[in-house]
Amino acid sequence: MTVEKIYIVRHGFRLNWVSTDWLDVTGLPRDPPLAAYGEKQAQELGAYFLSIPEKERPTAIFSSPYYRCLQTAKPIANALGISVYVEHGIGEWYSPVAPNTGLHPRPGSAISLQQYFPEIDPSWSSIYYPSRKGEEVDQVHERAETFLRALIPRVERVERHARIMLVSHAATVITLARALVGKRDLPLRVGCCTVTELVRHKDGDPLGVWTAVRLADGSPLTGGTSRDWGFEDIEIAEGKVVHDPGVDGTQNEIDEPVGLYLSKM
């Protein structure tokens, strides 16, 4: 079965954008939940995808393991009666860690997250893990390309879905879209819960053979596009993205697993 259509959705509006009084439900640092407005956006997407013809709807959702992405995927999965697969390969983008500050956080496994989201099907093993040391801009693009070259053939050969959805974060959404259309310089800003829709126009290499029907479309939302972000917003110093501190106390942790893990499936 050929994957014919891919939807890419950014998570909804985050609670930490409007309040400092929030808890990381899973205990993971830097993992804020959605604000009430973000939850409303996700509910609207669920209703929207239920309203389109059945032959256009996704039949599987692959979500970043961060709580806000799983919260966004949940009402869509419930509306359509489909499963959510946790995939670290479409997780958050962090710039490289500053020296001697530790590592960036990494969410738990699908099984550990299923206690919060019963929609998760833990039979899917994540096929890619970003480095906890962070990534330069070129590296997050390379991650998207490597991930998609592994994901699409597996979905076609094993999972057998013709239409899938990826729920991710702004930077990752942009790099995924750019990889699929084959343009690393594609101008794109992505708002919360916006929808990018791509259709395949020819067979062959999974990358560069997709046409964007719409990019970061906020029309399914009553509030339209909000909190849009693009790579032009990153802070640059001496030609490179500014490095961020890691999580204190992780200085002695090992950065594993990293990269493709196809052999583990």
**Gap between the Cα atoms of 39 and 72, Å rounded:** 7
φ, ψ of residue 207 in degrees (nearest 5) = -105, 150
Query: Residues 59, 61, 135, 197: is their CA dihedral positive or negative?
Result: positive
Q: Is 245 helix (H, G, I), strand (E, B) or coil?
A: coil
> Which pairing describes strands 195-200 and 5-10: parallel, antiparallel, or unpaired?
antiparallel
Beta bridge partners of residue 63, listed in sequence order: 86, 167
Q: What is the CATH number of the domain that holds 223?
A: 3.40.50.1240
Residue 265, domain member (yes or no)? no
Question: Domains in the chain: how many in total?
Answer: 1
Query: What pLDDT sits at residue 205?
Result: 87
What is the residue-level pLDDT of the chain in tens, covering all 265 positions?
A: 899 999 999 999 999 999 998 989 999 999 999 999 999 999 999 999 999 999 999 999 999 999 999 999 999 999 999 999 999 999 999 999 999 999 999 999 999 999 999 999 999 999 999 999 999 999 999 999 999 999 999 999 888 899 999 999 999 999 999 999 999 999 999 999 999 999 999 888 899 999 999 999 999 999 999 999 999 999 776 667 889 999 999 999 999 999 999 754 4
Q: What is the pLDDT of residue 237?
A: 65
Residues 148 and 86: their CA atoms lie apart, in Å, by 15
The range of the structural domain enclosing residue 159 comes to: 5-260
* pLDDT for residue 264: 44
> Which pLDDT belongs to residue 239?
65
CB atoms within 10 A of CB 185: 7
Residues in the chain: 265
pLDDT computed for residue 242 by the predictor: 83
The structure's pTM equals 0.96
DSSP annotation of 229 reads B
Tell me which residue of 129, 206, 217, 136 sits closest to 173, measured CA to CA. Answer: 217
Q: At what angle do helices 170-181 and 137-154 cross, to 10 degrees?
A: 60
What region does 102 belong to: left with phi over 0, alpha with psi -120 to 50, or beta? left
Amino acid at 171: A
Written as one letter, the residue type at 101 is T
What's the Cα-to-Cα distance from 81 to each of 8, 46, 116, 138, rounded to whole Å? Answer: 18, 10, 17, 37
